[in-house]
Structure 1
Amino acid sequence: MAKEPVSMFFKLYCLTVMTLVAATYTVALRYTRTVSTEMYFSTTAVCITEVIKLFLSVIILAKETSSLGRLVASLRENVCGNPKELLKLSIPSVVYAVQNNMAFLALSNLDAAVYQVTYQLKIPCTALCTVLMLNRSLSKLQWFSVFMLCGGVTLVQWKPAETSNVQIEQNPFLGFVYIAVAVLCSGFAGVYFEKVLKSSDTSLWVRNIQMYLSGIIVTLAGVYASDGTRVIEKGFLYGYTPWVWFVIFLASVGGLYTSVVVKYTDNIMKGFSAAAAIVLSTAASVILFGLQITATFASGALLVCVSIYIYGLPKQDTTKLVTDTDVKNTKEKLIAV
């Protein structure tokens, strides 16, 4: 299926919003996991996020179809009358649910800046899944940037930057394990969803509704399995503050923008805004959490940012170069004759 023509301004707009949302979400989530108030259940927050994303997707689809009758017909055809597609989209729903819960656990043990840098391992993971699942190829320069990124993350984790304004007990190694799981989930689910999107002409928002419906069921099962007894005892919204609701809002908006970026640009491209998100998260961590930047952290973060930039450089179209050369040679021969 041919990709819809999209202006560069729209692409830049999407990536800019993604950058701001990613940085703010990470810092705000870290804050909610370090305050001294009663801790909320992360599983319920993930579930509510899925509900909000479903609600917003239905609203956008209603605007896209421009009439209530068409909206109902579309939902009846693609949701109620197509269980096979719902089952297909349940796969990324499960994986994304795991990924989102891992983010809460990781940010309970790692600073926002350390998390933001380490989480960029999703780029090589996504690249590998893209090669295996979408039959794309990477240039030698891109592979070099992937190894550079891994080296940068290794430096950051070798001696993580410390925070002075956080009193909770943390386990950096456990935080890294949680991020590793989230990275694997992000790479697979993102590419899988991209493959589903680009394999048919079905509306992006219909696909989102299919996925979020499955996601609600999956996350509710997660609430029951992980925190069922405590949720019944204390309540579904136990420990919720305005900051927790803000985190849920950012997660909902970020999820929708991720879908837009995957649909209209490329699944890997959303990782390129991470360099700016790293800078913003680091600055916020210094101000809010008293982050003490070490030489290894600074070097590793710089390597990650440079590797992301290199990875995003456009490939040289050798086919076009050969064609242009052949045309030029042919013209020269005609002139000579």
Structure 2
Amino acid sequence: MANEPVSVVFKLYCLSIMTLVAAAYTVALRYTRTIASADMYFSTTAVFITEVIKLALSVVMLSKETGSPTRMKNTIVEHIFRSPKELLKLSVPSIVYAIQNNMAFLALSNLDAAVYQVTYQLKIPCTALCTVLMLNRSLSRLQWFSVFMLCGGVTLVQWKPAETTKVQIEQNPFLGFVAIAIAVLCSGFAGVYFEKVLKSSDTSLWIRNIQMYLSGIVVTLAGVYMTDGSNVIEKGFFFGYTPWVCFVVFLLSVGGLYTSVVVKYTDNIMKGFSAAAAIVLSTVASVFLFGLQITATFASGAVMVCVSIYLYGLPKQDTSKLTRQDGDKESRQKLITV
């Protein structure tokens, strides 16, 4: 299955959809959080609804995977109702992802979409560090170089951030940067933790998703109660919801699930191009929608981030093969000498 041939057209399709989803989510979320309106929706309810939709989609995918309602029922009973330890294990990334998603709403309330998109790429070095520490993997010298290059690019972007002129709410860039820093840490840890859990057994990806989203529903519902409980009771759960807000919830729901398809059928280089293209699209959209004024430091930093993403995704050199070749050369030289 992993080696099944995939056409270039399908790969480009996956790349295009992933890019559009990433850019559209960032810009649309920024738009919904910067409208000067007394009917601002509660971000905690949006995160909760997202978990519910993800759970429903995962159940649908599991039904296709099992092939029959009876088999799906038995699978759910075995891995969900009879495996409380597994549910507890998956509650860890559920909590972390819930924090990450809420931090994204806070960050985009205080940072422009383009600044957010560039800065959020710090998840790459964070994920790399977690991979080294938690999965005992190693990075090539080029990857480490690209990590430091990416950090330098983000520093330039934050050094003198681009300004927006059409935003109608008061912003706190420092608060936005703190929020995105927390989101980055959460993204790196939760992603690697979930990968470790997946590879520790042969349990289906969709079962693991269901376990995680069940925990996520409980966690995010608790977040609604603790953060906006009184306001939700007074104004209603769906207070302030517009078609744009529903669009954001939809993108957040399908984005994570669609990424798994992209990871399966494409490679790191294509994912790097996708991330870079999403940065460009977000920047262009911010210029027209939010009056973004691009500075030289922002442009330089964004270019550095895009290049570092590309370098990080380059395949590692097969050093073992080179070692064998060198050994063969030495053997031939010895034979000639003898």
For the superposition of Structure 1 and Structure 2, which TM-score range results when normalised by the shorter chain?
A: over 0.9
Go from structure 1 to structure 2 and tell me whether the alpha carbon gap of 1:228 and 1:240 turns closer, same or farther (over 3 Å shift). Answer: same
Letter in 1 for 2:26: T
Q: Does structure 1 retain, via aligned residues, the 8 Å contact 2:140–2:316? A: yes
Which runs of 5 or more structure 1 residues have no equivalent in the other structure? none
**Alignment partner, residue 144 of structure 2:** 143
Q: Which amino acid aligns with 1:180?
A: A
The one-letter code sitting in structure 1 at the alignment partner of 2:214 is L
Query: By how many angstroms is 1:260 displaced?
Result: 4.2
Give the share of equivalent positions with the same residue, in percent: 79
Shift of 1:302: 0.5
1:188-199 equivalence runs, <5 A: 188-199=189-200
Deviation at 1:121, TM superposition (A): 0.6
Partner of 1:35: 35
Q: What is the CA distance between 1:108 and its match in structure 2?
A: 0.4
Residue pairs, 1:35-114, within 5 angstroms: 35-37=35-37, 38-114=39-115
- Contact 2:147/2:312 (8 A) holds in 1: yes
Q: Which amino acid aligns with 2:35?
A: V
1:304 aligns with 2:301: no
The residue that corresponds to 2:24 in the other structure is 24
Identify if the C-alpha distance between structure 1 residues 267 and 308 changes in structure 2 by more than 3 Å, giving closer, same or farther: closer
CA distance in 1, matches of 2:275, 2:179: 19
Distance 2:272 2:94 in 1: 20
Q: 1:336 to 1:258 in 2, by over 3 A?
A: same
The answer on whether the counterparts of 1:123 and 1:271 sit within 8 Å (CA) in structure 2 is no
Residue of structure 1 in register with 2:319 after alignment: 318
CA-CA distance at 1:264 after TM superposition: 7.1
Give, in angstroms, the shift of residue 105 of structure 1. Answer: 0.4
Distance 2:164 2:249 in 1: 25
Equivalent in the alignment of 1:217? 218
Q: What is the deviation of 1:326?
A: 3.6
Partner of 1:116 in structure 2? 117
Structure-2 change in CA distance of 1:272 and 1:80 (3 Å): farther
| Amino acid of the structure 2 residue aligned with 1:234 | K
Distance 1:334 1:64, change over 3 A: farther
Tell me if the contact between 2:269 and 2:310 (Cα under 8 Å) persists in the aligned partners: no
* 2:216 aligned counterpart, secondary structure: helix
RMSD: 2.4
CA separation of 1:55 and 1:291: change in aligned 2, threshold 3 A: same
Kept in 2: contact 1:126–1:186 (CA 8 A): yes
The worse-fitting range, judged by mean Cα deviation, of 181-190 and 33-42 is 33-42
CA distance in 2, matches of 1:218, 1:120: 26
In structure 2, distance between residues paired with 1:271 and 1:180: 21
Q: CA deviation at 1:310?
A: 1.1
Counterpart-to-counterpart distance in 2, 1:186 and 1:168: 28
SS at match of 1:320: helix
CA drift of 1:49 comes to 0.2
- List alignment gaps of at least 5 residues for structure 2: none
Write the letter of the residue equivalent to 1:31. Answer: Y
TM-score for both structures, normalised by structure 1: 0.93
Q: Deviations over 1:108-152 (max 9, x none)?
A: 001000000011111000000000011111111111111111111
Checking the alignment, whether the CA contact within 8 Å between 2:152 and 2:301 is kept in structure 1 is yes
Larger deviation, residues 281-290 vs 270-279: 270-279
Q: Secondary structure at the match of 1:143?
A: helix
Q: How many residues align?
A: 335
